[in-house]
Structure 1
Amino acid sequence: MTAGARRLGAIIAGGQSQRFGSDKAMAMIDGRPMIDHVIAALRPQVDELVICGRAWPGLSSIADYPVQGFGPLGGLCAALDHAARGNFDAVLTTPVDVLPVPANLGDLLSGESAAVFERQYLIGHWPVRYRDALLTHIQEGGRRAFRAWLDTVEVRYAPEPFPMHNVNFVEDMPKEI
Protein backbone atom coordinates (compact mmCIF):
# COMPACT_ATOMS: atom_id res chain seq x y z
CA MET A 1 0.00 0.00 0.00
CA THR A 2 1.08 3.53 -0.58
CA ALA A 3 2.11 5.84 2.22
CA GLY A 4 -0.92 7.39 3.88
CA ALA A 5 -3.27 4.64 2.70
CA ARG A 6 -5.91 3.61 5.22
CA ARG A 7 -6.47 -0.05 6.04
CA LEU A 8 -9.50 -1.59 7.74
CA GLY A 9 -8.95 -4.82 9.63
CA ALA A 10 -11.80 -7.33 9.58
CA ILE A 11 -12.08 -10.53 11.57
CA ILE A 12 -14.40 -12.98 9.81
CA ALA A 13 -16.25 -14.66 12.67
CA GLY A 14 -19.81 -15.47 11.65
CA GLY A 15 -19.52 -19.25 11.51
CA GLN A 16 -21.54 -21.53 13.74
CA SER A 17 -18.61 -23.75 14.84
CA GLN A 18 -20.68 -26.89 14.19
CA ARG A 19 -17.69 -29.17 13.55
CA PHE A 20 -15.91 -27.75 16.59
CA GLY A 21 -18.87 -28.34 18.90
CA SER A 22 -18.72 -24.99 20.73
CA ASP A 23 -17.88 -21.35 20.03
CA LYS A 24 -14.35 -21.41 18.53
CA ALA A 25 -13.77 -17.74 19.29
CA MET A 26 -14.00 -18.60 23.01
CA ALA A 27 -11.68 -21.64 22.85
CA MET A 28 -8.75 -21.06 25.20
CA ILE A 29 -5.13 -21.02 24.04
CA ASP A 30 -2.39 -19.92 26.42
CA GLY A 31 -5.07 -18.81 28.89
CA ARG A 32 -6.83 -16.46 26.44
CA PRO A 33 -9.75 -16.91 24.03
CA MET A 34 -8.69 -17.65 20.45
CA ILE A 35 -10.24 -14.40 19.23
CA ASP A 36 -8.04 -12.37 21.58
CA HIS A 37 -4.95 -13.74 19.84
CA VAL A 38 -6.34 -12.68 16.46
CA ILE A 39 -7.27 -9.21 17.74
CA ALA A 40 -3.84 -8.70 19.32
CA ALA A 41 -2.06 -9.61 16.08
CA LEU A 42 -4.30 -7.68 13.69
CA ARG A 43 -5.02 -4.45 15.63
CA PRO A 44 -1.52 -2.89 15.32
CA GLN A 45 -1.54 -3.45 11.54
CA VAL A 46 -4.73 -1.53 10.73
CA ASP A 47 -6.30 1.89 11.23
CA GLU A 48 -9.59 0.44 12.48
CA LEU A 49 -10.65 -3.10 13.44
CA VAL A 50 -14.13 -4.60 13.04
CA ILE A 51 -15.63 -8.03 13.49
CA CYS A 52 -17.92 -9.54 10.86
CA GLY A 53 -20.84 -11.78 11.74
CA ARG A 54 -20.94 -11.50 15.52
CA ALA A 55 -20.55 -9.11 18.41
CA TRP A 56 -17.42 -8.85 20.52
CA PRO A 57 -16.68 -6.39 23.35
CA GLY A 58 -14.50 -3.49 22.24
CA LEU A 59 -15.03 -4.04 18.50
CA SER A 60 -17.55 -2.62 16.07
CA SER A 61 -19.66 -5.42 14.65
CA ILE A 62 -20.87 -5.51 11.07
CA ALA A 63 -23.45 -7.91 9.67
CA ASP A 64 -23.05 -9.89 6.47
CA TYR A 65 -23.83 -7.82 3.38
CA PRO A 66 -25.91 -7.72 1.23
CA VAL A 67 -27.66 -10.79 2.68
CA GLN A 68 -27.33 -12.52 6.03
CA GLY A 69 -25.89 -16.01 6.21
CA PHE A 70 -23.80 -15.89 3.03
CA GLY A 71 -20.77 -17.21 4.87
CA PRO A 72 -17.30 -15.69 4.67
CA LEU A 73 -18.08 -13.93 1.37
CA GLY A 74 -20.91 -12.06 3.13
CA GLY A 75 -18.47 -11.02 5.84
CA LEU A 76 -15.87 -9.88 3.31
CA CYS A 77 -18.49 -7.95 1.33
CA ALA A 78 -19.66 -6.25 4.54
CA ALA A 79 -16.07 -5.29 5.38
CA LEU A 80 -15.42 -3.95 1.86
CA ASP A 81 -18.67 -1.95 1.98
CA HIS A 82 -17.80 -0.56 5.42
CA ALA A 83 -14.32 0.32 4.16
CA ALA A 84 -15.69 2.08 1.05
CA ARG A 85 -18.08 4.17 3.15
CA GLY A 86 -15.28 4.97 5.63
CA ASN A 87 -12.76 6.09 3.00
CA PHE A 88 -10.40 3.18 3.59
CA ASP A 89 -8.18 1.99 0.75
CA ALA A 90 -8.09 -1.70 1.59
CA VAL A 91 -9.29 -4.39 3.98
CA LEU A 92 -6.99 -6.85 5.73
CA THR A 93 -8.99 -9.96 6.70
CA THR A 94 -8.39 -12.95 8.87
CA PRO A 95 -10.80 -15.57 10.14
CA VAL A 96 -11.20 -16.10 13.85
CA ASP A 97 -9.99 -19.70 13.57
CA VAL A 98 -6.57 -19.55 11.85
CA LEU A 99 -3.53 -19.01 14.05
CA PRO A 100 -1.02 -17.58 14.45
CA VAL A 101 -1.66 -14.38 12.53
CA PRO A 102 1.65 -12.96 11.24
CA ALA A 103 2.69 -9.71 12.91
CA ASN A 104 3.68 -8.43 9.45
CA LEU A 105 0.57 -9.63 7.63
CA GLY A 106 -0.03 -6.29 5.93
CA ASP A 107 3.52 -6.23 4.57
CA LEU A 108 3.26 -9.81 3.32
CA LEU A 109 0.04 -9.29 1.36
CA SER A 110 -0.19 -5.61 0.39
CA GLY A 111 -0.20 -4.62 -3.25
CA GLU A 112 -2.35 -3.30 -6.06
CA SER A 113 -4.39 -6.49 -6.39
CA ALA A 114 -5.96 -8.73 -3.81
CA ALA A 115 -3.65 -11.24 -2.14
CA VAL A 116 -4.29 -14.31 -0.01
CA PHE A 117 -2.20 -17.11 1.42
CA GLU A 118 -2.03 -20.23 -0.73
CA ARG A 119 -3.73 -22.48 1.83
CA GLN A 120 -5.45 -19.94 4.08
CA TYR A 121 -7.31 -17.76 1.61
CA LEU A 122 -9.60 -16.14 4.15
CA ILE A 123 -6.47 -14.32 5.25
CA GLY A 124 -6.20 -11.60 2.69
CA HIS A 125 -5.55 -8.08 1.52
CA TRP A 126 -8.48 -6.61 -0.43
CA PRO A 127 -8.36 -3.23 -2.19
CA VAL A 128 -11.76 -1.58 -1.76
CA ARG A 129 -12.31 -1.68 -5.53
CA TYR A 130 -13.13 -5.43 -5.15
CA ARG A 131 -16.40 -4.51 -3.39
CA ASP A 132 -18.44 -4.10 -6.56
CA ALA A 133 -17.31 -7.41 -8.08
CA LEU A 134 -18.15 -9.27 -4.87
CA LEU A 135 -21.48 -7.51 -4.46
CA THR A 136 -22.42 -8.44 -8.04
CA HIS A 137 -21.33 -12.05 -7.45
CA ILE A 138 -23.59 -12.33 -4.40
CA GLN A 139 -26.58 -10.49 -5.89
CA GLU A 140 -26.48 -12.53 -9.09
CA GLY A 141 -26.59 -15.83 -7.24
CA GLY A 142 -22.90 -16.69 -7.38
CA ARG A 143 -21.62 -19.65 -5.40
CA ARG A 144 -21.06 -19.20 -1.67
CA ALA A 145 -17.69 -20.95 -1.80
CA PHE A 146 -14.89 -18.47 -1.18
CA ARG A 147 -12.59 -20.27 -3.59
CA ALA A 148 -15.21 -20.09 -6.37
CA TRP A 149 -15.24 -16.29 -6.11
CA LEU A 150 -11.44 -16.12 -6.03
CA ASP A 151 -11.42 -17.88 -9.39
CA THR A 152 -13.34 -14.93 -10.89
CA VAL A 153 -11.07 -12.06 -9.79
CA GLU A 154 -7.42 -11.08 -9.97
CA VAL A 155 -5.71 -12.37 -6.85
CA ARG A 156 -2.12 -13.10 -5.90
CA TYR A 157 -1.40 -16.26 -3.89
CA ALA A 158 1.40 -15.79 -1.35
CA PRO A 159 3.20 -18.57 0.50
CA GLU A 160 2.46 -18.86 4.20
CA PRO A 161 5.39 -17.46 6.21
CA PHE A 162 5.13 -20.37 8.67
CA PRO A 163 2.72 -23.25 9.32
CA MET A 164 -0.68 -22.02 10.42
CA HIS A 165 -3.39 -23.87 12.34
CA ASN A 166 -6.85 -23.85 10.77
CA VAL A 167 -9.04 -24.88 13.69
CA ASN A 168 -12.11 -26.80 12.53
CA PHE A 169 -12.19 -29.51 15.22
CA VAL A 170 -11.10 -29.49 18.86
CA GLU A 171 -8.15 -31.71 17.94
CA ASP A 172 -6.92 -28.97 15.55
CA MET A 173 -6.28 -26.59 18.45
CA PRO A 174 -2.66 -25.55 18.85
CA LYS A 175 -1.27 -26.18 22.30
CA GLU A 176 0.30 -22.73 22.32
CA ILE A 177 0.90 -19.83 20.00
Structure 2
Amino acid sequence: MNYGAASWLGDTVSPKAASCPPCRSVSRWEPERVKDSKTEGAGFGPLPIDQRMSVMPSKPPRVCGCGKRVPFGKRCPCQAKRDAERKARHDQTRPSSSARGYTGSWDRAKAEFLREHPFCRRCGERAAVVDHKTPHRGNQDLFWDRSNWQPLCTTCHSSAKQREERRAIKRT
Protein backbone atom coordinates (compact mmCIF):
# COMPACT_ATOMS: atom_id res chain seq x y z
CA MET A 1 0.00 0.00 0.00
CA ASN A 2 1.46 3.38 -0.97
CA TYR A 3 0.50 6.30 1.22
CA GLY A 4 1.72 8.92 -1.23
CA ALA A 5 4.92 9.56 0.67
CA ALA A 6 5.92 12.71 -1.12
CA SER A 7 2.60 14.38 -0.29
CA TRP A 8 2.56 13.66 3.43
CA LEU A 9 6.29 13.90 4.10
CA GLY A 10 7.07 16.75 1.79
CA ASP A 11 10.26 15.11 0.54
CA THR A 12 11.31 12.22 -1.59
CA VAL A 13 11.61 8.95 0.30
CA SER A 14 12.49 5.44 -0.65
CA PRO A 15 9.48 3.24 -1.49
CA LYS A 16 10.45 0.81 1.29
CA ALA A 17 10.18 3.48 3.98
CA ALA A 18 6.91 4.88 2.65
CA SER A 19 5.16 1.54 2.19
CA CYS A 20 3.76 1.14 5.71
CA PRO A 21 5.10 3.35 8.50
CA PRO A 22 3.17 1.66 11.36
CA CYS A 23 4.67 -1.75 10.54
CA ARG A 24 8.31 -0.66 10.93
CA SER A 25 10.00 -2.48 13.79
CA VAL A 26 12.09 0.46 15.05
CA SER A 27 10.84 2.40 18.04
CA ARG A 28 10.57 5.68 16.11
CA TRP A 29 9.85 5.64 12.40
CA GLU A 30 12.04 7.90 10.32
CA PRO A 31 11.76 8.02 6.53
CA GLU A 32 14.79 6.88 4.61
CA ARG A 33 15.43 9.79 2.32
CA VAL A 34 16.77 9.32 -1.17
CA LYS A 35 20.11 11.03 -1.58
CA ASP A 36 20.59 13.23 -4.56
CA SER A 37 23.07 15.96 -5.41
CA LYS A 38 21.27 18.48 -3.13
CA THR A 39 21.09 16.25 -0.07
CA GLU A 40 24.42 14.43 -0.46
CA GLY A 41 26.37 14.74 2.76
CA ALA A 42 23.63 16.78 4.48
CA GLY A 43 23.03 14.13 7.15
CA PHE A 44 19.72 12.76 5.85
CA GLY A 45 18.64 9.23 6.70
CA PRO A 46 17.37 7.31 9.71
CA LEU A 47 18.26 8.64 13.14
CA PRO A 48 21.01 6.84 15.04
CA ILE A 49 19.76 4.44 17.71
CA ASP A 50 20.76 6.74 20.60
CA GLN A 51 18.63 9.59 19.16
CA ARG A 52 15.46 7.53 18.65
CA MET A 53 12.58 7.85 21.10
CA SER A 54 12.80 5.21 23.79
CA VAL A 55 9.87 2.89 24.38
CA MET A 56 7.87 3.68 27.50
CA PRO A 57 7.38 0.82 29.98
CA SER A 58 3.94 -0.79 29.93
CA LYS A 59 3.18 -0.08 33.60
CA PRO A 60 4.84 1.99 36.32
CA PRO A 61 6.92 0.37 39.05
CA ARG A 62 5.24 -0.61 42.30
CA VAL A 63 6.34 -0.18 45.88
CA CYS A 64 7.01 -3.40 47.78
CA GLY A 65 6.02 -3.84 51.43
CA CYS A 66 9.69 -3.38 52.37
CA GLY A 67 9.64 0.08 50.74
CA LYS A 68 11.71 -0.68 47.64
CA ARG A 69 10.55 0.28 44.13
CA VAL A 70 10.11 -2.81 41.96
CA PRO A 71 9.84 -2.61 38.14
CA PHE A 72 6.64 -3.96 36.60
CA GLY A 73 6.78 -7.72 36.09
CA LYS A 74 9.71 -8.23 38.48
CA ARG A 75 9.81 -9.56 42.04
CA CYS A 76 11.41 -7.80 44.96
CA PRO A 77 14.41 -9.71 46.42
CA CYS A 78 12.68 -9.81 49.82
CA GLN A 79 9.65 -11.54 48.24
CA ALA A 80 11.85 -14.06 46.42
CA LYS A 81 13.68 -14.84 49.67
CA ARG A 82 10.41 -15.26 51.58
CA ASP A 83 9.04 -17.58 48.87
CA ALA A 84 12.22 -19.68 48.86
CA GLU A 85 12.02 -20.09 52.64
CA ARG A 86 8.34 -21.08 52.46
CA LYS A 87 9.03 -23.65 49.73
CA ALA A 88 11.97 -25.08 51.70
CA ARG A 89 9.73 -25.53 54.77
CA HIS A 90 7.11 -27.32 52.66
CA ASP A 91 9.70 -29.59 51.00
CA GLN A 92 10.99 -30.76 54.40
CA THR A 93 7.65 -32.37 55.22
CA ARG A 94 6.82 -33.66 51.71
CA PRO A 95 7.48 -37.35 51.06
CA SER A 96 9.82 -38.32 48.23
CA SER A 97 8.37 -39.04 44.79
CA SER A 98 8.87 -42.79 45.21
CA ALA A 99 7.12 -42.65 48.58
CA ARG A 100 4.19 -40.92 46.85
CA GLY A 101 3.91 -43.78 44.31
CA TYR A 102 5.94 -42.45 41.37
CA THR A 103 8.13 -45.50 40.80
CA GLY A 104 9.33 -47.44 37.77
CA SER A 105 5.89 -49.04 37.50
CA TRP A 106 4.38 -45.56 37.23
CA ASP A 107 6.89 -44.56 34.55
CA ARG A 108 5.96 -47.59 32.43
CA ALA A 109 2.20 -47.04 32.89
CA LYS A 110 2.60 -43.35 32.11
CA ALA A 111 4.55 -44.07 28.89
CA GLU A 112 1.90 -46.55 27.76
CA PHE A 113 -0.93 -44.08 28.54
CA LEU A 114 0.83 -41.29 26.61
CA ARG A 115 1.26 -43.61 23.60
CA GLU A 116 -2.49 -44.26 23.66
CA HIS A 117 -3.39 -40.58 24.33
CA PRO A 118 -0.64 -38.43 22.73
CA PHE A 119 -2.40 -35.02 22.83
CA CYS A 120 -3.17 -32.61 25.66
CA ARG A 121 -6.79 -32.78 26.81
CA ARG A 122 -6.94 -28.96 27.15
CA CYS A 123 -5.04 -27.38 24.26
CA GLY A 124 -4.29 -30.21 21.79
CA GLU A 125 -0.48 -29.89 21.97
CA ARG A 126 1.75 -32.93 22.44
CA ALA A 127 1.10 -34.37 25.93
CA ALA A 128 4.05 -34.88 28.26
CA VAL A 129 2.35 -35.39 31.63
CA VAL A 130 -0.25 -37.85 32.91
CA ASP A 131 -2.34 -35.88 35.36
CA HIS A 132 -4.72 -37.21 37.99
CA LYS A 133 -8.07 -35.46 37.42
CA THR A 134 -8.91 -35.88 41.11
CA PRO A 135 -5.79 -35.49 43.27
CA HIS A 136 -5.03 -38.88 44.82
CA ARG A 137 -3.40 -37.51 48.01
CA GLY A 138 -1.72 -40.87 48.67
CA ASN A 139 -4.76 -43.05 47.92
CA GLN A 140 -3.22 -45.85 45.81
CA ASP A 141 -6.58 -47.01 44.40
CA LEU A 142 -7.23 -43.51 43.04
CA PHE A 143 -3.58 -43.21 41.97
CA TRP A 144 -3.78 -46.28 39.69
CA ASP A 145 -7.37 -45.71 38.43
CA ARG A 146 -6.83 -45.04 34.70
CA SER A 147 -10.24 -43.32 34.40
CA ASN A 148 -8.78 -40.67 36.73
CA TRP A 149 -5.85 -39.99 34.37
CA GLN A 150 -5.72 -37.35 31.66
CA PRO A 151 -2.94 -36.39 29.23
CA LEU A 152 -1.71 -32.79 29.56
CA CYS A 153 1.14 -30.80 28.07
CA THR A 154 3.61 -29.35 30.54
CA THR A 155 2.25 -25.81 30.14
CA CYS A 156 -1.35 -26.76 30.92
CA HIS A 157 -0.31 -28.99 33.83
CA SER A 158 2.02 -26.42 35.37
CA SER A 159 -0.27 -23.43 35.05
CA ALA A 160 -4.03 -23.89 34.61
CA LYS A 161 -4.38 -27.26 36.39
CA GLN A 162 -2.25 -26.22 39.36
CA ARG A 163 -4.18 -22.95 39.66
CA GLU A 164 -7.48 -24.91 39.72
CA GLU A 165 -6.17 -27.24 42.42
CA ARG A 166 -5.02 -24.31 44.58
CA ARG A 167 -8.49 -22.72 44.27
CA ALA A 168 -10.14 -26.01 45.27
CA ILE A 169 -7.91 -26.30 48.36
CA LYS A 170 -8.74 -22.72 49.43
CA ARG A 171 -12.51 -23.39 49.14
CA THR A 172 -12.35 -26.40 51.46
- TM-score band w.r.t. shorter chain: under 0.3
Q: What TM-score do the two structures reach when normalised by structure 1? A: 0.24
The structure whose Rg is larger is 2
Q: What TM-score do the two structures reach when normalised by structure 2? A: 0.24
